């Protein structure tokens, strides 16, 4: 049997066109990867740039302090002066709690809220006492029934003068409210009410006279005065020093000393 000789044929190599096509395909793949990498690089660079700018904004110093709820008792300019140390500091580095406590040292204030408003503003919201009367000369009574003692009072603060034992402020205020219109009806202006430790009331009038009303049967005693006031004391209250209603069937009037009386005493 004849032996078959091995084939001497070799595989045909890629043609120039095939090589070029493969080269172009490789370039396209490389270009796609370069494009993707470029996009990611651009995204990261943009993210870093934005982050840097945001960080710089976060570190921006406080340049504005907005005050809400200011009034003549706590002016906005006073609040800004108290918080002046916050200016120039980073908004997020400001100690809000410390600033709040600093403001609350002012006894006119009942509540303080401070908020950060990015990028460079602090907003301060105030709640203050609303005074309705003086209390025991040196203190004030608020519309909420709270007695407080501010270091300073604004000029021209015209309030009724109340006085009494600790804890009696609301009782005395209600007495003032109930008695003022009654006295107004006969032309008497009530300036204040004071209560003694035993509950006895004294009424201060705008004329300077004081009415000692006692503790019991206040309405009855006061009505006794009002019944005869138009015919006896109307137009003469400037000369009255005090009126004592603490009698069972009448009242006593003490008159101011005239200049003539004072001269006679000095001569004696």
**Counting Cβ atoms within 10 Å, is residue 207 exposed (0-12), middle (13-18) or buried (19+)?**
middle
pLDDT of residue 249: 86
Whether residue 37 has pLDDT greater than 50 = yes
Q: Which residue has the higher pLDDT, 265 or 80?
A: 80
Check pLDDT > 90 for residue 55.
Answer: no
The predicted pLDDT at position 99 comes to 97
Q: Mean pLDDT, to the nearest integer, of 239-245?
A: 96
Distances in whole angstroms, Cα of residue 217 to Cα of each of 179, 201, 214: 14, 11, 8
Reported as a single tens digit per residue, the pLDDT across 100-140 is 999 999 999 999 999 999 889 999 999 999 999 999 999 99
d(CA 64, CA 210): 53
Question: What's the average model confidence in pLDDT over 210-236?
Answer: 93
Q: Kindly state the average pLDDT of the residues 71-75.
A: 95
> Which DSSP string do the residues of 192-237 spell out, in sequence order?
EEEE-TT--EEEEETTS-EEEEESS-HHHHHHHHHHHHHHHTTT-G
The arithmetic mean of pLDDT across residues 170-180, rounded, is: 96
CB 86 within 8 A of CB 115: no
User: Domains in the chain, please, with CATH?
Assistant: 64-128 (3.10.20.310), 134-267 (3.40.50.11690)
């Amino acid at each position: 049997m004849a032996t078959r000789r091995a084939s001497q044929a070799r595989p045909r190599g890629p043609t120039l066109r095939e090589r070029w096509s493969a080269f172009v395909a490789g370039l396209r793949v490389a270009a796609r990867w370069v494009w993707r990498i470029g996009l990611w690089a651009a995204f990261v660079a943009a993210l870093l740039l934005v982050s840097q700018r945001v960080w710089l904004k976060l570190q921006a110093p406080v340049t504005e302090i907005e005050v809400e709820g200011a009034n003549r008792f706590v002016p906005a300019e006073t609040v800004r002066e108290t918080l002046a140390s916050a200016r120039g500091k980073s908004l997020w580095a400001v100690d809000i709690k410390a600033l709040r406590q600093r403001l609350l040292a002012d006894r006119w204030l009942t509540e303080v809220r401070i908020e950060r408003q990015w990028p460079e503003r602090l907003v301060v919201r105030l709640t203050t006492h609303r005074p309705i009367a003086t209390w025991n000369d040196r203190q004030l009574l608020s519309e909420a029934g709270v007695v407080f003692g501010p270091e300073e009072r604004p000029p021209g603060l015209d309030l009724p003068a109340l006085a009494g034992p600790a804890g009696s402020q609301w009782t005395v205020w209600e007495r003032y409210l109930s008695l003022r219109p009654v006295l107004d009806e006969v032309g008497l202006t009530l300036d204040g009410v004071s209560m003694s430790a035993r509950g006895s009331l004294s009424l201060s009038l705008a004329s300077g006279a004081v009415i000692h009303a006692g503790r019991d049967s206040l309405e009855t005693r006061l009505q006794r005065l009002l019944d005869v006031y138009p015919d006896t004391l109307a137009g003469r209250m400037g000369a009255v020093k005090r009126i004592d209603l603490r009698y069972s069937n009448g009242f006593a009037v003490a008159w101011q000393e005239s200049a003539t009386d004072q001269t006679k005493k000095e001569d004696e």
